[in-house]
Structures are given as C-alpha cells and as structure tokens.
Structure 1
Amino acid sequence: MASPGRARADRSTRRVADLLQPPHRGDRPRRAAPGGRPRLARDRPPLGGGGPTCRARSAVDRAPVRPRRRRRVTSPFVDAASVGDDPRPVLLDARWWLDDPGRARREFEAGHLPGARFVSLDDHLTAPEGPGRHPLPSPAEFAAAMANLGVGHTDRVVVYDDRGGAFAARAWWMLTALGVEARILDGGLDAWVAGGGELVSEPTAVEPAPPWPDLPPRFPGTVTMEDLVSGWPGGLVDARAPDRYLGLVEPIDPVAGHIPGARNLPYERLLDEELRLRGTAELEVILARAGLEPDPRLVVYCGSGVTSCLLVAVMEHLGRPRPLLYAGSWSEWCRAGGPVETGTPAEGPILARDRGDHPPS
C-alpha cells in the first residue's frame, strides 16, 4: 500500500518543460551501469555552481524572503536538563515513521514527555497537495494547526523525536521561519530518559492559543524548482544518505541520483552514536570536508524537505548564515523531469560512503 506522502507526490507532479531546455539524445538521466561504477552526467553544467547555467538575475529575483526576525537564542539545540527550566516551554513530540504513519501516534500515546502535544508530519507539517512528498502548507494553515495544539506565537517551544532531531527539525524550521522561539531537544526522547526524565501516557489538556499575527503568504527562507533551473547563484547540499546521492539505490522516489552540482552532506554525519549533536569543532571539520563555506545563498535539500532542516539548524548552531530550503527536494525534482547526475560531482569533495541505518525523508 502506497504511503500518503507517495500518493500526494504522484497527484502533485508538475511538468517544467517551459523552464528546462529540451534534452538532447545523450542528456537522459543515467543510472549506474550494472555491476560498475556510477557514471556522471557531465554533459549538463551543474546547477548552483556558478557555471554557465547561472544567468544574471536581479537582486530581487535571486534573494528569496529571509525568515522573520525572532528573539535571539544561543543555539537551536537544548539539552534535556534545561527543558524543565522555568518558564517551562511548550513541548511538541514529532516522531514519525515512513513505513507506518500511525506508529508515531501510538508510541506517543504509550509514553511521552509530560505536557507534550503530538505534532504529525503528515497532518500538521505537510499540505495535502503540492510539489514533493511533503509540501509545505501555507503559513496560515500551519499557524492554525499550531494554535489548535495550544502553541502561541510568543511561546517558547521545544520539539523532539527519537531520531536525533531528523524529523523534529522540520517543525523547528517552520516555527522559526515564522518568528517563533523554538529549539530542538538534543538527543531527543532517549536523552530525556537517560537524564532521569519520566514518560507519561496521559493525554495533555490543550487550550487553543490565539490566532498568530502578521503571517506572510508563503514560508520565507525557501527556494523553488523554478529558482534552481533558472540558474541559482549559490551552492546546493544534498542531505540524503550517500548511496541515494550517488544513484546506487533509490528506495522511495522513481529516479536515482542527485541535482547536478550538489554536494553531499548526509545529516546523520552531524550526530554521534547516541544520536546527539557532535561537538562544534567536529562539526566544523565535517562541513569543511564537504567543501561548504558560509554563504547565505546556500540551498539544502533531501528527499522531501524534512531531514535537510537539520542541516539548517546545525549551521545556525555554528553561527553560519541560515541556508535556504528547497522544500520540494528530490521527490519534486525527479518527478518533474529535472536533470539528474549520478556518482561524484565533477567539482568538490563529498563525504565518505556511509551505509548506516538512516531514516529516509
């Protein structure tokens, strides 16, 4: 049975033939040769790499609206010992399972942090229609959903999951993009329990919050597929597992590979064995190995605009400019006929292969 995200993507596929040049005979996306090394589609210049596809555009065209200003926090991450500090934050449980959408709610009902409310990736953080498997809802739709959960625009919010923030980061990104002071619980549910925190099964009494004020028509801090195929002047970072990036496997989407010119920084590399954020010095080394310099034009993507939000949080944690999010990500790109590259990009390093057990997005 197809997942809700896959069905949604199939309904929302859009052609972009008016933006892409008609492919020549040798320009078709190429998978790895059977039993051989992945081949690189060198006949297309990379997108976002400053190559010949990057035509000159006005400052307005190439500068998407940045996230709304919010109260300054020292880091997007908070440790479990600080969660109980006064005033106690609003807690959101953002657990999610790709192959069993109902499992997260069942686990929440079996045990969650005291006072936590369950936020569903499919119901609260995703629009029913749109590009990609998890398209962003409008800010108004998202704000209404949060208000119904008792989250006010001026509340302090902490989001957690059980996968090192891979899914909690999507809620964090949406909240902070609209000016809410939100943070991710470092280490998530396991860190809370390891620190002596209790789990409860009683439902949280929720009183709806007032409507959020001054909402923009769309989420700031994003780019679209149209922006990228028109010649984006900044770099691209793919947060998926290396085997998916290289085009060796594709367990979810119909085409394997990555957006031409993108570099690979698997989000899992930012976490240690206990799914906690690595130290600052170690993170800087990882970003340097990926060839990533601080750049406000940097764009991150993954499979559907979920786990790549963790890269945004980490770069803010390091004091770097907040990257832009391509929310449609690979699930939109490959279905809409975007050019595909496999193997290692022609320029710049990628991280070493990693075959760990990582949740896709």
Structure 2
Amino acid sequence: MKIKSKKIMSLFLASVLAGSMFVGCSKQEDTSSSEETAQTETTSATTKDEYTFDNNEYFTSITWLKDNMESNDKLVIIDARADKDYNKGHIPGAINVIWQALANVEGKAGDKDWGTLQDAETLSKTLSSFGISNDSQVVVYAAKDGWGDDGRVVWCLKRAGIDARMLNGGINLWEAEGNEMSKDAVTPEATECTISEIKPDMNITTEDLKKEYDSLKIIDARAEDEYNGAVNFGEARGGHLPGAISIPFTELYNEDGTIKSNEEIEAIMTEAGINKDDAVVTYCTAGIRSAYMALVMTNAGYTNVRNYDASFYEWAADEANELE
C-alpha cells in the first residue's frame, strides 16, 4: 500500500466535502458516522469466537487485515467516517474517503440523481486520485453507530469491479482489541484506475423501480420513526414507499459492530416475509444504510437484492410518487 502522510487531506477530497456538506445543512441526512443519533434500535452482543466472516467476498477480519498491512502492496485501507472522526484517530495507513466522494452531489438532496454513483469516467478519475487501481484489494471500515458508510463505499467499489470488503467489527472492535491507532492524515499516491462499466445488477433507478414495483419486496432500512413519517433530514415529505417492509439496518449487526450470522439474518428476513428467492429492493434516505443492508443480505444468500441509491430523497421529492 503506497501512501505518504501529510497534515491535510488532498484538495480533491476537501472540495468534495465542501460541495456535499453544504447540501441541506442540518436538515439533510448527515451521513457522518458520529452524527447518527436517531438509530436507537437494540442490537445483540457477540464475541470474537462467534465470527463467521473471516475473509470472503464481502467481509474481512481484523486478523486478516493485520496480517496484510505490511506485506500486501495491493491493500488500500479506507476509513469511511467523517473527517473529524478520522482525525481523532484511525487505523494506521488508512485514507479518509466518505461516500459523497464517490457520488453525484451537485445540486441538493432530492434533485434527480443526487447522491447516486458517479459514471464510469468520473469514477475512474476519483478512484485514481485515491490510489485505487483495478487490482487493488480494498478494506473499508466505519463505526457501528454510524450510517453504514462502510457498506455504501464497498457497494460503490463493487459496482466498479473493485475487490472491496467491509472490516467486520469496524473501528469499534479495532479499538476494543487494543490495536494501534494513528492521527497522521494519509494522502494516497495517485495511480491509474480505468472503470469500463458500472455493474447494473446491484442498483435500481426510480424509473425501473416503478416499472417492476408489483414484483418486488421493498425494504425500508431507516429507523422506525422515519418509516412512520418523521422528517429528520430535510426530506420533501414523510412516510414510506407503498408496501415497504420496515427492517432498520441496525438489526443486522451486534453490539460490538460485528455482522450477525447468516442464520440470524435469515431469521430476521423470514419473520419479515422475505425469502431468499425474492426480488428485493432496499432503500433509506440517501442509499447508505440500504447499501449496507443489500451487501449483508447478499452475503447471507439472498441472490437478487438491489439498492435504490436515489432512495427516499428522490422518491419523496416528486409529488407524483405515492407515499404511505
């Protein structure tokens, strides 16, 4: 992993932050992990001995990361939290990449395609600036009390064909185990990354959602109060998509931040009426929590799960779209 330390982050990331954080001000869904105060659903505890995702297509472990930090030249570690949290302490060598850096954030939340993944050409430039190449192995982490920012970043990278995985337990478990922390900001050395296409099978647009609506199981990954109509983040209207099933994304992980077992995930989905062969769409406010849920479900064997990344912001902004 080729990196160099600086006192500040790269100008590119700073400009993205400036452009995205002024959208909606305090009324917008603040996707900074430390700002999440609305997610109060109860999670369960676990112990490290119960982990089931040591290193696979979607998750990797702290053990694997520590074993590869010094020897794996292809490794890129991403801290997906807000810069203020990153600056307080992060995994050594990690760069700071928030989800907005990979998204279209011109205009305001609710505008057509706001918050959706960048096109292939733009994303190629973005990933190159972060030192990510086509053969990189990317490990992304965030905080358990956040918005699932790590899931959203991994979802973006996987759509671009990059090998990316979430760190099971995230920064919370890393610290809890007494692992080294750093306050040295890291700026990556630019590389060459060429994205030929953005995979379409992990996402659904508003237009396709409307066309396929009657054949889908739709999951609302937001908190219960949002599902019931609370407008906490500058949404144009409150409520939920017609027929949507409420499963807050916080139900998918344990108190220590680790992902629940596949058996536990299946029990949650079965109780909600979701079968493994259903065509499923997940959504939240801006497609962050729902991206996290889509990856967790796919890892658990649900083979047809798509994230609606335009999500509730775009749906609610159009008065023609029905809400319950």
Opposite residue 92 of structure 1, the aligned amino acid is: I
TM-score using structure 2 length = 0.75
- Check 1:213–1:123 CA distance in 2 against 1; reply closer, same or farther (3 A cut): closer
The answer to whether the aligner puts 1:123 opposite 2:105 as a matched pair is: no
Opposite residue 98 of structure 2, the aligned amino acid is: S
Structure 1: distance between partners of 2:118 and 2:22? 15
- Taking only aligned residues, the RMSD between alpha carbons, in angstroms, comes to 2.5
Structure with more of its chain in helix, by fraction:
2
Shift of the alpha carbon at 1:176? Answer: 0.8
Structure 2: distance between partners of 1:303 and 1:256? 11
Q: Which structure 1 residue ranges, 5 or more long, are not aligned? A: 11-72, 96-103, 343-361
Find the partner of 1:280 among 240, 247, 262: 262
The answer to whether the aligner puts 1:149 opposite 2:135 as a matched pair is: no
1:215 corresponds to: 197
Structure 2: distance between partners of 1:120 and 1:171? 8
1:15 corresponds to: none
CA displacement 1:302-327 (0-9 Å, x = unmatched): 11111101111111221221411211
Structure 1: distance between partners of 2:105 and 2:65? 30
CA displacement 1:179-231 (0-9 Å, x = unmatched): 11111011211111122311112232521111324234x75532221222234
Contact (CA 8 Å) 1:178, 1:219: kept in 2 or not? no
1:229 corresponds to: 210
Shift of the alpha carbon at 1:331? Answer: 0.7
**Alignment partner of 2:99: what SS?**
coil
Contact (CA 8 Å) 2:130, 2:189: kept in 1 or not? yes
Opposite residue 215 of structure 1, the aligned amino acid is: E
Shift of the alpha carbon at 1:341? Answer: 3.8
**Alignment partner of 2:77: what SS?**
strand
Shift of the alpha carbon at 1:299? Answer: 1.1
Find the partner of 1:93 among 76, 79, 85: 79
Structure 2: distance between partners of 1:337 and 1:197? 50
Identity of aligned residues (%): 26
1:34 corresponds to: none
**Structure 1: which 4+ aligned runs deviate by more than 6 Å?**
none
1:318 corresponds to: 300
Structure 2: distance between partners of 1:286 and 1:186? 19
Shift of the alpha carbon at 1:338? Answer: 4.2
Opposite residue 232 of structure 2, the aligned amino acid is: P
Opposite residue 207 of structure 1, the aligned amino acid is: E
Structure 2: distance between partners of 1:322 and 1:192? 32
CA displacement 1:146-186 (0-9 Å, x = unmatched): 11110111111000111367111111001111211111011
TM-score using structure 1 length = 0.68
- Check 1:220–1:321 CA distance in 2 against 1; reply closer, same or farther (3 A cut): closer
Structure 2: distance between partners of 1:202 and 1:139? 31
